[in-house]
Amino acid sequence: MSKVKTAKSVLITGCSAGGSGSALAEVFQKRGLHVFATARTLSKMSHLKDLPNVTLLELEVTSSQSIAAALDAVNAQTDGKLDYLVNNAGQSMVMPALDTDIEEAKKLFDVNFWGVHAMTQAFAPLVIAAKGTIVNICSISGYVNAPWMSKLTSWSTIAVYYGFLRSLLILWTNIGFYGASKAALMSQSETMRLELAPFQVKVLAVVSGVVDTNIMSHGDNWKLPPGSLYSKVSEAIEARATGADVNPSQKMDAAKFANKVASDILGGASGRTWRGSIASMVWLLTLLPTSLMDKAMLSATKVE
């Protein structure tokens, strides 16, 4: 492999076509960085292979061997420096907590939390050498404890109750363990921000709102287990699992999202940034008393 010729470099996980990682890879490449685009399967990044200053790497964030191989490849091309590490790879899960298979939930955390930390541990020396930035893609799901979403959105319900959210907005929230994994990642991001500050490394948590990606594309075979206590509202949960409850016009285009996030990163941001449709609205809602949010969520999601 040849040496990186650009001034700055970035490694992004989860760059399969149709996702925010892919959009981020294209934006960073256009802005003059050398991009290490990674995914579990190289063929899913074929749309990036002919772009200049882009290196495609096969990477499974739950595999220490795969991470080590990627680290060696980046190390060899950058002389031991990496300016930006973007931990974007993740997966979703939509299922009531009582019906969730514990082993499947552990696999979710392996990707969404432990995989991120494994990448951070492995690449930290390169980022420290560059006095760079570690970016973790989090989610509004880590802030709003919505069981699931019916087509009567929590936003319209809250507007009725409190009279200040009049827009027809749909909350892009995955239930239960997905939100828990993203909340854990947010907390760890804040801890790492403080721990890495002495080494002049920034840590940025991107709280992602509604973005037009294919994250819900694997929900076609979704179903509640037999005997579920939530069978009466299975249609509402299934709509959340498949993404059918979201109007495409209410999603932020992935390229627009990527441009905003890239500007945050290259502008030296640290801490938290809220990007994607309704992300800033969720930030406002976190200021509400828990009892008011609970009332709105229970009504909107038909748990009552």
Residue 230 a catalytic site member: no
Of 44, 84, 143, 178, catalytic: 178
Task: Kindly list the strands in the beta sheet with 9-12, ordered across the sheet, starting from the edge strand earlier in the chain.
Answer: 54-58, 34-39, 9-12, 84-87, 133-139, 202-208, 271-275
- Out of 8, 182, 202, 251, the active site residue is 182
- In angstroms, the CA 296 to CA 300 distance is 6
Token look-up 């991009």 returns 35
Spatial separation of the C-alpha atoms in residues 171 and 150, rounded to whole Å: 10
Q: What is the DSSP string of 83-134?
A: SEEEE---------GGG--HHHHHHHHIIIIIHHHHHHHHHHHHHHHHT-EE
Strand runs labelled E in the chain: 9-12, 34-39, 54-58, 84-87, 133-139, 202-208, 271-275
Per-residue exposure over 233-249, b if at least 16 CB sit within 10 Å of its own CB, e if not: bbebbbbbbbbebbeee
Nearest one of 186, 167, 113 to 285, comparing CA atoms: 167
Q: Are 216 and 141 in contact (CB under 8 A)?
A: no
Q: Is 178 annotated as catalytic? A: yes
Under DSSP, the state recorded for 163 is S
Angstrom distance (rounded) from CA 51 to CA 25: 10
Rounded Cα distance, 45 and 25, in Å: 10
**Six-digit token string for 270:** 């640290």
CA angle 125, 130, 136 (to 5 degrees): 70
Q: Return the SS3 of 34.
A: strand
Which residues carry out catalysis?
178, 182
